[in-house]
Structure 1
Amino acid sequence: MILGLALVASSATAQSLTGAGASFPYPLYSKMFAEYKNAAGVDVNYQSVGSGAGQKAITERTVDFAGSDNPMSDDAMKAAPAKLLHIPTAIGAVVPAYNLPGVTEPLKFTGKVLADIYLGKIKTWNDKAIAALNPGVTLAPLPITVARRSDGSGTTYVFSDYLSKVSTEWKTKVGVGNSLSWPVGTGAKGNDGVAGVVKSTPGAIGYVELVYAKQNKLPYGSVQNRAGKYVLADNVPAAMAAKGVVIPADTRVSLTNSANADAYPIASFTYVIFYQEQKYGSRTQAQAQQLKKLLTWMVTTGQGYNEPLDYAKLPDNVEAKAKSIINTLTFDGKKF
């Protein structure tokens, strides 16, 4: 897959750009890039290969930009040949989607219950831990089929980042990452793959970005936030996860388990990652200028496509930081 990306990138012109990475924002980026082509005449080829593969592709300079739901670590950035920059493009929610025949109202979950399901400790839907959160709901003694990602995934990072904040056992035994040593589960590639497993398997549960649950008509549960409130994911509670959070200058920050009383607790920025110095390989200044124009459009005009596709828009202060970062781009050491 990445070799194919290299071939695409090497043939890029000023009228085309290539990106690869997270499946989390793929529905949004598909719409954004179609509209951008109409507006600017520039083709943007984005391959939904997972955040891990996207981070690898930008490190190897086989794409103009990467998509990732988690920011790269300091160590990962040091492995790149030059300075990498991050800008958020949207806020998305990761939801526990499930296939439970006969249950018509959204189930309630706590972080501990979700962790225990993914640790393999809760094995059936009528387990007393789930039943206690959902009085009055008839829960069949159906085995739980745990669906999770098989590829390097930013959605996995966000989900495991949340579980590590609410479950000491999860943090100790499994931890946080794009790829994990899973205690249990059926692996699938991409958000679409996990949604497919859930949709086709009675008794399944899987973590997916909100839009994938909606597109596949999958029910998804409300999750208890840090304030004790059960919140069903939507644009507003996802956006609230960023409210009151100190956003660092490089915008690399976790939004999970927000202290905001109205926030949905499993929310995250999704990022675009690119090089500050744009002169490398066979790149031209025209190509660098096209990337700068695209990134600027994504955090300004392009934000108009977020909410209709079930992603929250960037808060004003984050949009301002993103534009400031974009304006540090250089070509041969000079800003352009």
Structure 2
Amino acid sequence: MHRPEIHAVNRRTLLLGTGAALAAPMALGMREAVAQQVTITGAGASFPRPVYERWGTQAREAAGIQLNYQSIGSGGGINQITNRTVDFGASDAPLPAEQLRERNLLQFPTVMGSVVLIVNLPGVQDNALRLTPELVTDIFLGKITRWNDTRIAETNRDIRIPNLPISIAYRADASGTTFTFTTYLSRVSTEWQQGPGAGTSVRWPVGNGARGNEGVANAVRNTPGAIGYTENAYATVNRLITTQLRNKSGRFVRPVMETFQAAAAQADWSRPGFAADLIDLNGENVWPIVTPTFILLPTNPVADRVAGSRNSMRFFDWAFRSGAQAATSLEYIPLPSSVHDAIRAAWAEQVRGPNGERLWPISG
């Protein structure tokens, strides 16, 4: 289904601009360095896969970097980078500072994205269905089992909801998207917090698991009466039906760029590991489930991974300078330029080669 309200927004200037980047690391003198294409490997979160793949396609020619990214879930990405089998890992669930130190990892965000609810309800239009935090929680707890439940009907008196059983799709793999969604459920429901709780994997009371954001999107698309949670880009690309949510300020909001930006504008990037918390924030126009997605980069790459670490930083430096349009076309939110600068400073300070040498900035 065409979503005109979103595509119109994408043509506007973002409130959170990427700004001018530091020129030194990728100055004109780098042209000789990127003339020969190199390959970097990464693995992890499916949440950012659409934008990483788009950046990878563009960076092949623009920066001479070929990206091989495996969308295996945040848990898999954390394991692979911990075992040093890839150049970088990717996770939507930020690691605590203690774990970053223990594993010799630097964590930094790349973009912000939003988790949305997707439904397959014949006759119900995109963003017409309104759900409250209480309804969402009771649906995923298995307390509400049919779409024509009186509580859902009372909240949606202006639309006709089919009399179908509710079929829940959730992530079967360890997932940062699950971490984000279950953190939201834990914030809005004491019962959820004391029951399944928040995590990359939880014991779901009801429903069926699917692997990756891709799997959840396909499960909902193929099952009338289904509901699931996914990163917004998957809903947009697959033209799935999304819902409104009542936010912490008591207003029903649609999952569109303005509401995502309203949450993103409140980000506090001073927390360890750049772990800004954007879930269930106050604000009249705030979408309640927004999160950064993160890269995990070794601070002490072994000799045969030094080039991969350098080129990974080159890749994300290029993305910060040149990837904003690709990100917003997929409805991700670029980071402010001040955060880009802070990330580059962290690369310079924390990432060291086998002999203690700085790996960033790269001289031309």
Q: 2:309 aligns with which of 261, 283, 288?
A: 288
- Cα deviation per residue 1:212-267 (whole Å; 9 max; x = unaligned)? 11222211001111111111112232122122332225201321112232211111
Q: Is the 8 A contact 1:256 1:266 kept in 2?
A: yes
Q: Is the 8 A contact 2:87 2:305 kept in 1?
A: no
Matches within 5 A, 1:123-272: 123-249=145-271, 250-272=273-295
**How many residue pairs are counted as aligned between the two chains?**
320
Q: 1:112 aligns with which of 126, 131, 134?
A: 134
Q: Relative CO higher for 1 or 2, CA cutoff 8 Å, sep ≥ 6?
A: 2
Deviation, structure 1 residue 335 = 1.7
1:100 equivalent to 2:150? Answer no
Distance between the aligned counterparts of 1:150 and 1:281, measured in 2?
A: 36
Structure 1-normalised TM-score?
Answer: 0.90
Residues 333 and 67 of structure 1: CA distance in aligned 2, closer, same or farther (over 3 Å): same
Q: Is the 8 A contact 1:120 1:184 kept in 2?
A: yes
Aligned counterpart, 2:343: 322
Q: Give runs of ≥4 in structure 1 deviating > 4 Å.
A: none
Residue 304 of structure 2 aligns with an amino acid whose one-letter code is S
Distance between the aligned counterparts of 1:323 and 1:234, measured in 2?
A: 30
Q: Is the 8 A contact 1:126 1:141 kept in 2?
A: yes
Q: Is the 8 A contact 1:94 1:267 kept in 2?
A: yes
Q: Which stretch shows the higher mean deviation, 236-245 or 167-176?
A: 236-245
Percent identity, aligned pairs only, is 38
Q: Is the 8 A contact 1:299 1:319 kept in 2?
A: yes
Q: Is the 8 A contact 1:241 1:265 kept in 2?
A: yes
- Cα deviation per residue 1:278-331 (whole Å; 9 max; x = unaligned)? 3x15224x4332122112122222223110111111133333322222232222
SS in 2 for 1:95: strand
Q: Is the 8 A contact 1:222 1:232 kept in 2?
A: yes
SS in 1 for 2:80: helix
Aligned counterpart, 1:18: 41
Deviation, structure 1 residue 130 = 1.3
Distance between the aligned counterparts of 1:241 and 1:49, measured in 2?
A: 27
CA-based RMSD of the aligned residues comes to 1.8
